[in-house]
Every structure is written in structure tokens, then in C-alpha cells.
Amino acid sequence: MSTCEDSDVRADLKRSVMTRVPPLLTDLYQFSMAYAYWRADRHREPAVFELFFRDNPFGGGFSLFAGLNDCLVFLENFAFSDQDVEYLRSVLPANTDPDFFVYLKELDCSSVSVSAVPEGSVVFARVPLLEVSGPLAVVQLLETSLLCLVNYASLVCSNAARFRLAAGPWRRLIEMGLRRAQGPDGGLTASRYTFIGGFDSTSNTLAGRLFGIPVAGTMAHSYVTSFSSLAEVWPQTLTPVGGGSGIDFISQVKGRLSSVCQLLGSKTELIREGELAAFMSFAIAYPHKFLPVIDSYSVSCGLPCFCAVALALCDLKYQPLGVRLDSGDLCRQSLEVRRVFKECSKQFSVPQFESLIIVGTNSISEQSLAELNRKDNEIDVVGVGTHLVTCTRQPSLGCVYKLIEVRGRPRMKLSEDPEKSTLPGRKSVYRLLDTDGHPQMDLICLSDEPVPTAGVSLNCYPLVSETSLQSITPAQVTSLRLDVFTCGQITYPINSASESREQAQISLQMLHPRHKKLQEPHNYTVAVSERLNSLVSDIRRGNNKGSNFLLSN
């Protein structure tokens, strides 16, 4: 991979994309509430929200957290334009106090602070990933935009990690979902976060330019079908690698084609002139990068054409790259293609045919990728689009953003649906590691509790399960969140996509394989401290100052 731009330029470019998120891109009710807070003179009250999701996606045992960089750039640039404010004036009730709009015009995030899990970390359901504190009205206004920036980024990044696990570590994965994404920005987001999740490259050229992601891609069927005759091949000569005078490439290929058809027992009557012309023309344009799609008509006619052109390239000392298969039973076809490559290698003494690459691209899903590891096949590189970027199995992560504290008092939402209840109060989150260095539990404590000590037993209440008291002695304790935004300033490096990808790989490597199983993974324990558990019980019973029942007060 190569790019023409240094990382500074790229960072600028990236910011210029990211700052497109205007603060008006939020739900109207945020403004309705902000006005009600302002009207009650509560808008400056210190408040804290936290962002989390309730279930690991795709029935899996983990997720990857992503979207943080976009959130930080969004927060740094948060300000309403005059036009924004005039629009809000037109949709809020006519009797809204005009001073509220003056207030909106002056708003920014200079009083907001955020702590967060680093981008690309392995995370689990119900762990607060982002804690946002600041004036009540401002942190309320941020809700929808932050959710929008984290939800899909984390989902598609986690999906990519699963595809990577399914594919195994050595098979190369190309993301090519732009045409099936939710519009242009959805496509860019998909390319960025699938790379972070473990893909090797993208077909999305803009993502390559903006994020420095390696780009990949050769030809579509339309290229093949656009040719109908050898007369369209131009120029008709190709200079050998070592230099010298151009060789008549058409004659060279035709000679090779007869031998190939003879070797393979192919009927030359089935060779399509247009397909052969397309391959020749592409080889002349890309003699070092020859990798055509060979099933525009059928593999049985595309493969001999490829072999003939590739052999002609070898004759001129070029190294053809391989082929792409885009339909039918990829496993079966790849075996046949490899067999032919080996036969050619032997017959024509071209050892480089042994290492030709076979790319497979045909509605690849996590399941079909996993199958590649079970069935015999010779596919080296897989291109994935639709199922990856749309996250077919579960197209939404369902992150939520919940109020946990106002004016130093813990707040909690109860609900008719128990899983919609929240955990009150400001918290610290610790990842407890076992003696092998594997994460064994995420522990959510109130922020004023002492940090758990390695080697010392502690009591906690696992969430989800039967909430019975459990005792655990961590071998190591790490704090999961960092201060990333303090009083309007980004205090955390805006990582490049490559850096976040590395963080994801490290974080995934630490996780025990039992939690990474794609089917029926072992549950990872997320627990609350005894004190947090007591606070929840108190609030449920109405015994907490923060949740008075009306007449018991």
C-alpha cells in the first residue's frame, strides 16, 4: 500500500470529514428538553450520562468499541450556526422565551468532559463505555449524535472482527460493501471500522485517501463484457520486463491458448473472443498486476483464457497475480482452478503458477467464511460486501445513553422491562485479569470506591446471571476508561485507523478463546460492586434521597 499524503494532511482531511456532523443532527426532543431545563433554570446543573449497549451483538461473547475519534471531533466542534438557531425558533412553540435562542447561540462543549474506553478495545454488554459530564442541557443535547457515531461504528467493527475470526488469521480479507451501505457516509464508516476490526483492505477509494487504508480491486464483469473482438486490443504489443522491442502479445497469447486448450481438453470453440480480448487488454495495461475475474461467462471458458494470457506474461518475464471467482460454488471451483494452475506449472515449466492467488467474492457471510475452514478449497483472498457492511444478522447494536447523576445525586431509570433499567451513579470500571493475563471480569464500582487490589479477594454481584454474591481474586487490575475530553479539549490522541486496528488486535489477543467462539461463547462476567448493588436496591425500594416517593418525604 502507498499513499501520497503524510499523516498530518490525512488527519486534517479526516477531521474535515468528521466535522460534517452538525449539532442539529439530533432528535427534536433534545431541544424540547433543553428548553424545559433552561426554563426551570436547571440547564447549568452538573449532570452525567453514560453510554452502553445491553447485549453483545450477533449472539457473540464480546464487542469492539469504535467511533470514539468521531465523537471527540464532534464535541470539539459543537456549536450552532445562526441558521440552525433560526430553524429551531421555527419549530419550537411560538411562546418559547427568545432568550433561550441567545443561550443556544453561545453553547459549546467547553464545560463538558468525557472518559471513555479506548477506540478498538474489546468490550462487553452493560459496561459504561463513555461517561459524559457537564451542564445538564448540553450533555442532554449530545445524546443522539454520540449514539449515532458509536452505534454503527462499534457494530460493524465487531462484525469485521467476527469475519476475521471466521476466516482465520492468514486469509486476506477485502471490504467491498460501499454500494450496499446506508449512503455515502455509511460506506465510509463501514470501510474505516471494518479495517479496524481486522480487514486488510477496502475497495473504497475515498476511505483509502482519508484514512490511509490499503485499497484493492481489479475488474468487474462489465470490463469483460465490454469487449467483443481481438481488434479492440490496443496496443497489441508488450515490452518484456528486461526491456527490448515490443512483442506481438496477441500472437503470443494465441500460441499459448492452443497449448492450454490441448492440455485441459477444452474446446477452443467455447473460448469467447471478447473475454480473451478483455484479458489481453488488461494484461497490457497491468502486466505486473494481472488478476481478472474469470466467470463473466463461465469458469470453463474464462480459465483457459486466463492461463493463456498469464503464460504469455510469464514468457515476457512478468508475474501474473491470479484470478477472481464471483459466482457458483467457490470452494469447488477454487480446487479446480488450483488443479489447472498446477498442471500448467508442470506442463509449461512455470513454477510461479503454483503461487497464483485465488480471490473469492460472492455474497460472503460469516457462515460461508467459516465454511471455508471446514471444506477443502484454495481461496487465498476473500472480498466481502453486503453481509459485512449491513450486518445482516443484527443490523443495530442498540447503544443507549442514560442519565446517571444530577447535582451529585445518583439517578436511575426503572422500567416495565427490567433490562431497560439503568445503573445509577458515577462509576469506575475495572478489568480484572487472571494469572494468564486473560480478562476474567469487568467490575463496575461507584467512582468513590477504592481501586480493587491485585491478589486481594473482593465480593461482587454479576449482572445478568442470578445476581448472587460472588467472590473473586484478580491477578491484575486495569482501569478500563481514560479521560479523553476535558473541558472542551481533546486529551487523547486521535488515532489513525491503523493504530486503532492494532489496539483491536492486541485487545482481541488478550481475550480467552472461550469468549471469542462465534457460536455459543462462554459468558464473560460483568459485575457490580457491593456498594453499587446496595445503591440499586435502595433506589428500587425508594430509600435513596435521589428517588423520593412523593409522600414518604
Residues 199-218 close enough to bind its own copies by CB under 8 A: 203-206, 208-209, 215-218
Q: Toward its own copies, which CB reaches closer, 1 or 454?
A: 1
Binding test (CB under 8 A) with its own copies, winner from 123, 167, 188, 444: 188
Choose the binding region for its own copies from 115-123, 287-295, 370-378, 511-519 (rule: CB under 8 A). Answer: 287-295
Binding test (CB under 8 A) with its own copies, winner from 77, 259, 298, 319: 298
* Cα–Cα dist 77/364, whole Å: 39
Binding test (CB under 8 A) with its own copies, winner from 87, 99, 355, 454: 87
Choose the binding region for its own copies from 102-110, 453-461, 514-522, 544-552 (rule: CB under 8 A). Answer: 544-552
312 binds its own copies (CB under 8 A): no
Q: Toward its own copies, which CB reaches closer, 347 or 394?
A: 394
185 binds its own copies (CB under 8 A): yes
**Closest distance between its own copies and the C-beta of residue 286, in Å?**
6
Q: Toward its own copies, which CB reaches closer, 213 or 458?
A: 213
CA dihedral 340, 342, 348, 350 (to 10 degrees): 130
Cβ neighbours of 541 (radius 10 Å): 10
Q: Is 330 helix (H, G, I), strand (E, B) or coil?
A: helix
437 binds its own copies (CB under 8 A): no
Sequence-distant (6+) residues with CB within 8 A of 146 are 51, 71, 74, 130, 132, 401
**Closest distance between its own copies and the C-beta of residue 553, in Å?**
6
Q: Toward its own copies, which CB reaches closer, 456 or 551?
A: 551
Residues 358 and 323 sit within 8 Å (Cβ to Cβ): yes
Q: Toward its own copies, which CB reaches closer, 394 or 476?
A: 394
Q: Toward its own copies, which CB reaches closer, 257 or 350?
A: 257
**Closest distance between its own copies and the C-beta of residue 451, in Å?**
28
Q: Toward its own copies, which CB reaches closer, 59 or 184?
A: 184
Sequence-distant (6+) residues with CB within 8 A of 76 are 109, 485, 488, 489, 490
Q: Toward its own copies, which CB reaches closer, 387 or 431?
A: 387
**Closest distance between its own copies and the C-beta of residue 39, in Å?**
4
Q: Toward its own copies, which CB reaches closer, 204 or 533?
A: 204
548 binds its own copies (CB under 8 A): yes
> Hey, what long-range contacts does 187-192 have (CB within 8 A, 24 or more apart)?
187/389, 188/17, 189/152, 189/153, 189/156, 190/156, 190/388, 190/389, 192/153, 192/497
| Residue labelled with grid coordinates 449491513 | 390
54 binds its own copies (CB under 8 A): no
Sequence-distant (6+) residues with CB within 8 A of 1 are 201, 214, 215
DSSP β-bridge partners for residue 193: none
What is the sign, positive or negative, of the torsion defined by CA atoms of 295, 297, 299, 305?
Answer: negative
* Cα–Cα dist 31/36, whole Å: 9
End-to-end CA distance of the chain: 67
Choose the binding region for its own copies from 25-33, 242-250, 430-438, 490-498 (rule: CB under 8 A). Answer: 25-33
* Cα–Cα dist 467/549, whole Å: 26
Residues 388 and 163 sit within 8 Å (Cβ to Cβ): yes
* Cα–Cα dist 457/468, whole Å: 16
**Closest distance between its own copies and the C-beta of residue 251, in Å?**
14
Type of residue numbered 279 = F
33 binds its own copies (CB under 8 A): yes
522 binds its own copies (CB under 8 A): no
Tell me, what DSSP letter sits at residue 374?
Answer: T
186 binds its own copies (CB under 8 A): yes
15 binds its own copies (CB under 8 A): no
Binding test (CB under 8 A) with its own copies, winner from 263, 406, 490, 518: 406
* Cα–Cα dist 462/537, whole Å: 14
Q: Which of residues 368-397 bind its own copies (CB under 8 A)?
A: 386, 389-392, 395-397
Choose the binding region for its own copies from 33-41, 165-173, 313-321, 471-479 (rule: CB under 8 A). Answer: 33-41
Q: Which of residues 103-142 bind its own copies (CB under 8 A)?
A: 136, 140
Q: Toward its own copies, which CB reaches closer, 107 or 433?
A: 107
Q: Which of residues 321-360 bind its own copies (CB under 8 A)?
A: 327-328, 333
Burial class (CB within 10 angstroms; exposed 0-12, middle 13-18, buried 19+) of 528: buried
Choose the binding region for its own copies from 31-39, 452-460, 492-500, 511-519 (rule: CB under 8 A). Answer: 31-39
The residue count for binding its own copies (CB under 8 A) is: 143
* Cα–Cα dist 553/544, whole Å: 11
Choose the binding region for its own copies from 42-50, 309-317, 428-436, 474-482 (rule: CB under 8 A). Answer: 42-50
